[in-house]
Each structure stands twice: as C-alpha cells, then as structure tokens.
Structure 1
C-alpha cells in the first residue's frame, strides 16, 4: 500500500482561484491521492477534471464554523453531490456541543447523513476547541449518527491534529467509525505515526505542501 492512498489533499482558503483548483487536481492525479477536499463552489470544476481518475472529490459544507442552520447544510450537501462530490465534510456545531445540547448536535449531523444517503460523511470535531470529555461525547454522538469518518480539525482553528486526541478518539469509537487526522502533518514520518495510531485518512494542505516542498514524500511506499 502506498501512503498516497491515505491522503486527503486540501485547498480551502477563501481566495482560492479556479487555476489553483485545476492545479490541485493535476497534482492529485500525478501522485494518486485518494481524495481532494474543496469548497462546494468548485465541485463542478474539480469533478470535470477528475472524472477519469482514481481521485475522489470531497466537498465541505457549512464551512468553516459549522454554526449555520441544519437546513442550509442539507441543501449545500445535496447540491454538492448533484455537482459531482463523492464525499461530504461538515464541522460539528461547537456551540451546541459546548452548551451540552446534545440532541441538537445529533440532529444536525443525522439530518445531513439522512439527506446524502450512502455518500461518505465526515464530521470535523475541531479538537483544539474541546476538552477530553467533549471530544469523547462528540465521538459518541458521531457513532450514534452513523457517520463514516471523524476528522480532527478543519484547518481554520487554533490547532490541528494531535496524537493524544487521536488516541482518545480511537479509544472511544474503536472500529465503529474511521478517523481522518488533519493539521500539522507535513511529512512522511509524521504521517506514519498517525497511521500507527489507527487513522484511516491523513489531511494534507496543498498550500503548506508548496511551502515545505514535501508533498512528494507522501507517495513513497509503506507497509501500513
């Protein structure tokens, strides 16, 4: 197995251009990345460029804060799928979670999951904003809502993935949900540590890869 097949190649900055999305698609094809993660307005463009490749398109919805109405998230998710998205990613409603309004947190997630059917749903916990008990509770809600992936971070908060939080997530969900570790993972060595901790996907920022010149290291062969 190649590490590139665990990679979620991400470009979500608000100033992203069409040219950058096209370049992202070409890089994803070149390195055989599993999926790209982009804003919903660019899904039609990316889907066109990736239609004959092995790389999937993941659209974020209700990004980056997850605080908009559930109805808005449902509409955006359904439209993204109509436009060619094969995965949907949403941020958990942190305000509801911190308020201990767990019923609303569950409904927010489950309504999106119900609307998109068998399409893969990833839920971002934003671990840098949560304490251990909140991470555990968020994981339990995600399991109950039948999500496909729990993602550590959106890239828009004060911190990214940590091995400590990843292990807490893994201990809570066991094998019920897959884990997507995102943020502060910039090289092969770090990526391997997360795979060894039990993650199934590694989020890798396209802008960061250009700055560090390390994008190609993630296509090296691994026995993971």
Structure 2
C-alpha cells in the first residue's frame, strides 16, 4: 500500500530551505546507497497472468508528444473511459480539457511537471504543479534536476522534489518522481530514489520516454528494492508497448505503468485471458 498523504507544506510559492538535508542526512543516504548496491538483484519470479480489468487499473494512458492535438487528447480520454485505465497522463496545458472529458468517471487526471528535462528552478516546478492541481490534476509526475543529481548536489535534488510534494499534499494528490534512469548509473538511481523518499514522494518513476531509453526490468527491480522500506509505488514508463512488457515490469516490482500503447496492451491481455 502507498503510504497515506498528509497536508504539510506552505503556500508561498517559495520552496522552503529550512528542511534542507543535513550532513547527517546525506551520510545516511550514502550508507543506504552502498547497502542497496551490495545486495545485488535476484530474478523476479514469474507470476500468474493478470486479468484485463486488473491490467487496466495499472495503466496511466499517456500522450505527451508536443504536437498532440485537441482531437488526439479527446481520443485518449475516450479510450481511458472505455477501457477503464487508471489515469490519463498529459502535458499540463491539457488538464482542464481532460478534467472535463473524464468528469464523472473513475479515471484520474495526471499532469507532468518540469517535463521532459527537469532543468527548471524548483520554484518554477512548484508553480507549474500548483496550477495543474488547481485546474484539476490529481497526480503529478515531476522530473528531477538530473544535472544536480549527477553533480552530487543532494540538497538541490531533495529541495526540488519537496516543493512539488508539498503542493501535492495540500491538494491531496500523488507526486511521482521521474528519475530518468537511462541517464544514470546504478549508484545514481538508488540515490535518486533515496532522495525522493526523503523528500516525501509517493512514487518513483523510471523515465520521461523522451531520453535515451525507457524502463528496464533491472531498473524496476533496483528501484523497488530501494523504496520498499517506505512502501512507495514504482512506475515503469518508456518502451512498455506489449502485454509481455507490462507483465515483466509488474513481476519486477512495478505498481503502475505508463504507456501510449495501452489499448493494444489491454487487447493482448484480453486475448491471453481467452486462451486460459
């Protein structure tokens, strides 16, 4: 279970610095990174096939390409409602339209923030998230400051995440933290997950789908093992295009999957269910 949300956080639009990581915090995170990497990763057990309704509830039906049209967004929402996907994930500019299109259905509205590079100032991401939430988003997928992570500036990374987490908590919304695994080594992947946990995030997510690569089984295993103590969710995104892809991610520890090929995945799941 994902841990309960709370309501901490201010409303000033300024990311607080009084909660910055201490030297002791950074030391503990470094020790934890070493511990996780020393554990290694075993093979994920193969599980039973998931029925189509359960597959649908794992999926964020996604359309993030910059050239997406209003007609394509409408189609995305119709499909999400028809097939029962958990959420629709879009660029924040489409949130009001998506909210109107899925109103009265269980489908959640998810918006991306700091997308796709994560290179905005923390205050900009905070304001972007706040506006998306005010307009109807119920989940925020934010991109971390990747350059700060690779520069080992843990305080900046944590502050960046915390600002968005706190406005999400105010709105009783989920915050998923995109770490862009294809740009990181294993030590950086674990450190990014540790910082996301420390900052209060609710999920960690592999990828934007706009970089060098997407989700891999190995990365999902590593991320799931890292965040297990805090029971964070793990979202696999980027390159998940078939039912077989989805099942590999779920067996490795993913609790949510982002895909633009969701309808085909669900159709494959339905076909597999019919063969049993």
Q: TM-score scaled by structure 1?
A: 0.92
Structure with higher Rg: it is 2
Q: Which consecutive segments of 4 or more residues in structure 1 shift more than 2 A?
A: 213-222
The 5-angstrom pairing of residues 1-224 of structure 1 reads 2-117=54-169, 118-176=172-230, 177-206=232-261, 213-214=264-265, 216-218=267-269
Cα RMSD, aligned residues only: 1.7
What SS does structure 2 have at the residue aligned with 1:110?
helix
Contact 1:91 1:125 in 2 (8 A): yes
Per the normalisation by structure 2, the TM-score is: 0.76
Q: CA deviation at 1:192?
A: 1.1
Report the number of matched residues.
218
CA deviation vs aligned residue, 1:24-56 (integer Å, no higher than 9, x gap): 000001110000110010000000010111110
SS in 2 for 1:2: helix
Q: Deviations over 1:157-192 (max 9, x none)?
A: 010000011111112111521100011111112211
Query: 1: distance between equivalents of 2:202 and 2:173?
Result: 9
Measure, in 1, the Cα distance between the counterparts of 2:257 and 2:161.
Answer: 22
